Structure 1
Amino acid sequence: MTRPRIVIVGAGFAGYQAARTLLRRSRGAAEVVLVNPADYFLYLPLLPEVAAGALDARDVCVPIQDTLPRVRLVLGQVCGVDPHRRTVTYTGPEGDDGTLSYHRLVLAAGSVTKLLPIPGVADHAHGFRSVPEALYLRDHLIRQIELADAAEDEAERRARMTFVVVGAGYTGTEVAAQGQLLTADIAARHPRLAGCPPRWLLLDTADQVLPGMDARMAAGALDVLRGRGVDVRLGTSIREATAAGVTLTDGGSVASRTLVWCVGVRPDPVVERAGLPTDEGRIRVDATLRVPGFPDVYACGDGAAVPDLYNPGHCTPMTAQHAVRQGKVVAHNIGVSYGIGTLRRYRHRDLGFVVDLGGWQATANPLHVPLRGPLARAVTRGYHLTALPANRLRTVASWLFTAAGARPGVGLGLVRGPAVPLETLAHHPG
């Protein structure tokens, strides 16, 4: 290698931010290589709005070549890491294999959908971690309403108009909130469905929605959801899923053709294949985000067990806030390894969270100040526009268009069966 090569695995929040910061710090002195299955960084927090027809998929996909012009993008899924030989192996989108050598390595592969051993979930549930899954879910919701309109059997009609979301965390809460608005809008264009409105269920084993977040935020979200008619059932999950519906842990059953799985995430499988020390499935790192025993390897984001210096004995949670900040620290400390600056330990300060509930509703606690309603909505959108690396004008235009008119009510022809098995898209980019 004529120049030091820094290889970054993954273009999620951590990997994208690491690449962005390294470009600024290296000023061309190092070759920055980004290995990712897609040619874009997905701004995941706005994905529920894509599924709900409020945003175009291109609004939330930040092109890597346009925004990181001096980064060498390698399309592929990393399948192995050899820290002793300093190599990374990957499989390209057309099945071809490749190998990259590196001088410094950043593992920021992120996370994938976490499956639980519940019968039928892997075959009948819809995942929600990628653009294809969001677009597929949107098409599926529209199709169910159209099929319900055509159904002569009342039981079938009600089943098709019933939508079940499992997991009331950040993603599941937003999917239920945005999905309810979409289906209500689409159903209103079908007069035959006047007596059979869309029914949404949101299930979680926790005792509040948004578990782990501020109780006031959770209460605000619950009020909005139930105010729209969403059936929120806490302390409840599913025992089995079939093509006709779900059986609940409380003994009940729900006839439905739609099950959305938002229970949680786990580190990308590349973490297991890297042959590096792990803690609870995540790559072990010290406070400088370096892997112990491998001074040229760093890890950050969802796949890294980053020690929480403010909460000794625990690791930082798997959130975008941490991933972005860790990406910056990794880039800084790689610069230090080349003699630029001094080492930083990863420390964080919780800036609060925002949860977009669609319409004029949101719940937020910026700097731990609880907000609800239109003010929280303004703060939420302002935050997303600030955090979005590109496409801001496009996103604002889409929001204005949605506010001024109805959401598009046509499918894209993506749905060919009752569901795409969760494992099919578990490793899809974005």
Structure 2
Amino acid sequence: MDTASSADGRTRVVVVGAGFAGFTALRRLERLLARHSAHGDVELVLVTPQDFMLYTPLLPEVATGVLQPRHVAVSLRRALPRTTVVPGWATSVDVGARTVTVDPGDADGQVTRLGFEKLVLAPGSVTRQFDIPGVAEVAHGVKTVNEALFLRDHLLAQLDHADALPDTADGRAEREERLTVVAVGAGYTSTELVGQLQRWLHTISARWDRVRPTDVRWLLLDISRTVLPELGPRLGAAATAVLRRRGVDVRLGTTVTAATDRAVTLTDGTTVPTRTLIWGAGVVASPLMATLGTPTVRGRLVVDAALRVSGLDGVWAAGDAAAVPDLTRPDGAVTPPTAQHAQRQGVVLARNVVAALGLGRARRYAHHDLGLVADLGGRDAVANPVGIPLTGVPAKVVTRAYHLLSVPGAANRVRLVTDWALGALLAPQTVRLSGVRADDALIPAAQRTAIYGGVGSS
């Protein structure tokens, strides 16, 4: 597959990335092309390392075992029957030659050059790490299934070992390390994860003879002065109050300056013994964006309101990897990297690609934010649907309803409802089964940032 057109002369449209933007764009492309009876003239190709679209907002519930990992994964081959899936990572784009270089990611596979006529770049984002000593070697993100499964087993293992330690000076020192969890970043990833993990340990406390959930020390750090700033000060304060009421040590204006496998050093000069460092300090666009040689904003590819990449004919970008102008705001801001925007940008992408094929008219992207939600575990949540601030049970209901409506596919929705119902009726399972190696769960390995020659750091 090294030409822009198929062997049978069809025009090839290549989509890079099966996240919210890429997946939504392809679903809509299939429908639009069918409506125009143009499927026979266009070949749709998707480049992605997995055979599923991952609904990442529910990964905290995978980490706590509430949801089965396959239930937040939507089958690409079932959902996109008219799309050819090419397994692998897109590592570079040659716009002049109209090719994408694809690394299959296995020892036996060969790197290939995939030709295109139209190209959609939606590779998403990776966890931002910054250039902090030790973070790449010991910190764990929660952006992939492997990371979520590893974190669950890792925490269980730490408490199992702590429960068996002798009551000696060395035993007490090691126990403190194993029973301390440090999470960096008070945005969605770390805040939801800490809230849900802390609540989960309380529900499985009978597993241990001597360790109690109150023995676990939780630290949530952020250099900013608010928790969940995306939800505004009122709901951020409400989330902070919930966490602190449960015993979480929320430290704002503080972050990590160095990390080892036994401790972290904070910006206030203190050292915290820990064997668990969760890293959720924001995201940065896929490093693929830096290989194109076109303007970027904080790593995100600059596009116009129609999602076209400036100066590149027949190339579009959307989602976390693109700096899309926010036409609903007068200050020239770009849309935030959220699933809500990525999904809706995917719809506009599809229309504009079809328009470039001579079917219909291109549109500009404009979407008023409908609100955001955050699940803190148990009955606690915060949400602001259409600007209405909610906390507690009402927010929890809105949060789950939002996720249920946003997950593609009726089968996945039924499985999610079943998991939630079983979680409410039955005791949680606490066995360690995933078998994910610690090295495979580190951010550079789990998110494959090393194939671009570095990790997300800016």
Question: Shared fold by TM > 0.5?
Answer: yes
Task: Find the counterpart in structure 2 of residue 121 from structure 1.
Answer: 135
Once the 2 structures are TM-superposed, how far is the Cα of residue 416 of structure 1 from its aligned partner? 5.1
Paired residue secondary structure (2:241): helix
- 1:32 is aligned to 2:44: yes
The CA distance in 1 between the partners of 2:366 and 2:124, in whole Å, is: 20
Q: Calculate the TM-score normalised by the size of structure 1.
A: 0.96
The CA distance in 2 between the partners of 1:321 and 1:216, in whole Å, is: 22
Aligned-partner residue type, residue 161 of structure 2: L
The CA distance in 2 between the partners of 1:4 and 1:342, in whole Å, is: 19
Paired residue secondary structure (1:193): coil
Once the 2 structures are TM-superposed, how far is the Cα of residue 235 of structure 1 from its aligned partner? 0.9
Paired residue secondary structure (1:188): helix
Deviations 1:225-251 (Å, cap 9, x if unpaired)? 112111111111112111111111112
The correspondence of residues 265-344 of structure 1 with structure 2, limited to 5 A, is 265-309=283-327, 310-344=329-363
The CA distance in 1 between the partners of 2:383 and 2:161, in whole Å, is: 37
Aligned-partner residue type, residue 405 of structure 1: L
Once the 2 structures are TM-superposed, how far is the Cα of residue 193 of structure 1 from its aligned partner? 1.5
Task: Find the counterpart in structure 1 of residue 428 from structure 2.
Answer: 407
The correspondence of residues 85-96 of structure 1 with structure 2, limited to 5 A, is 85-94=97-106, 95-96=109-110
Give the 4+ runs in structure 1 shifted more than 3 A: 415-421
Contact 1:364 1:376 in 2 (8 A): yes
Paired residue secondary structure (2:91): strand
The correspondence of residues 177-326 of structure 1 with structure 2, limited to 5 A, is 177-194=195-212, 197-309=215-327, 310-326=329-345
Task: Find the counterpart in structure 1 of residue 399 from structure 2.
Answer: 380
Closer, same or farther in 2 for the Cα pair 1:100/1:232, shift >3 Å? same
Paired residue secondary structure (2:86): strand
Moved more, 221-230 or 53-62: 221-230
Deviations 1:157-202 (Å, cap 9, x if unpaired)? 2221111100010111011011112223333321211496222111
The CA distance in 2 between the partners of 1:418 and 1:105, in whole Å, is: 34
Contact 1:123 1:419 in 2 (8 A): no
Deviations 1:380-401 (Å, cap 9, x if unpaired)? 1011010000201111111111
Contact 1:112 1:265 in 2 (8 A): yes
Deviations 1:59-118 (Å, cap 9, x if unpaired)? 111110011111111101011211122111101132311122112100001111111111
Paired residue secondary structure (1:318): coil
Moved more, 85-94 or 124-133: 85-94
Task: Find the counterpart in structure 2 of residue 151 from structure 1.
Answer: 165
Paired residue secondary structure (2:183): strand
Deviations 1:355-386 (Å, cap 9, x if unpaired)? 01111111000000011111111111011010
The CA distance in 1 between the partners of 2:271 and 2:436, in whole Å, is: 25
Task: Find the counterpart in structure 2 of residue 10 from structure 1.
Answer: 17
Once the 2 structures are TM-superposed, how far is the Cα of residue 342 of structure 1 from its aligned partner? 2.0
The CA distance in 1 between the partners of 2:276 and 2:413, in whole Å, is: 32
Once the 2 structures are TM-superposed, how far is the Cα of residue 418 of structure 1 from its aligned partner? 8.6
Task: Find the counterpart in structure 1 of residue 379 from structure 2.
Answer: 360
Closer, same or farther in 2 for the Cα pair 1:208/1:312, shift >3 Å? closer
Closer, same or farther in 2 for the Cα pair 1:417/1:32, shift >3 Å? closer
The CA distance in 2 between the partners of 1:34 and 1:132, in whole Å, is: 22
The correspondence of residues 97-108 of structure 1 with structure 2, limited to 5 A, is 97-108=111-122
Once the 2 structures are TM-superposed, how far is the Cα of residue 419 of structure 1 from its aligned partner? 8.6
Closer, same or farther in 2 for the Cα pair 1:415/1:256, shift >3 Å? farther
Once the 2 structures are TM-superposed, how far is the Cα of residue 417 of structure 1 from its aligned partner? 5.1
Task: Find the counterpart in structure 2 of residue 348 from structure 1.
Answer: 367
**RMSD of the alignment, in Å?**
1.8
The CA distance in 1 between the partners of 2:179 and 2:440, in whole Å, is: 16
Contact 1:145 1:183 in 2 (8 A): no
Task: Find the counterpart in structure 1 of residue 80 from structure 2.
Answer: 68
Closer, same or farther in 2 for the Cα pair 1:75/1:342, shift >3 Å? same
Contact 1:126 1:419 in 2 (8 A): no
Paired residue secondary structure (1:73): strand
Deviations 1:243-298 (Å, cap 9, x if unpaired)? 11111111222111100000011111111122333233221111101112222000
Deviations 1:142-161 (Å, cap 9, x if unpaired)? 10010111111122222211
User: Which of 48, 62, 65 lines up with 1:50 in the alignment?
Assistant: 62
- 1:110 is aligned to 2:129: no
Contact 1:123 1:421 in 2 (8 A): yes
Aligned-partner residue type, residue 27 of structure 2: R
For structure 1, which runs of at least 5 residues remain unmatched after alignment? Answer: none
Once the 2 structures are TM-superposed, how far is the Cα of residue 300 of structure 1 from its aligned partner? 0.5
Aligned-partner residue type, residue 18 of structure 2: A
Task: Find the counterpart in structure 1 of residue 419 from structure 2.
Answer: 398
Paired residue secondary structure (2:315): strand
Closer, same or farther in 2 for the Cα pair 1:301/1:415, shift >3 Å? closer
The CA distance in 2 between the partners of 1:185 and 1:247, in whole Å, is: 31
Contact 1:81 1:275 in 2 (8 A): no
Q: Calculate the TM-score normalised by the size of structure 2.
A: 0.90
Contact 2:182 2:278 in 1 (8 A): yes
The CA distance in 2 between the partners of 1:162 and 1:369, in whole Å, is: 36
The CA distance in 2 between the partners of 1:194 and 1:98, in whole Å, is: 53
Aligned-partner residue type, residue 353 of structure 2: I
Aligned-partner residue type, residue 112 of structure 1: V
- 1:141 is aligned to 2:155: yes
Percent identical:
49
Moved more, 7-16 or 246-255: 246-255
The CA distance in 1 between the partners of 2:430 and 2:81, in whole Å, is: 37
Contact 1:203 1:234 in 2 (8 A): yes
Contact 1:125 1:420 in 2 (8 A): no
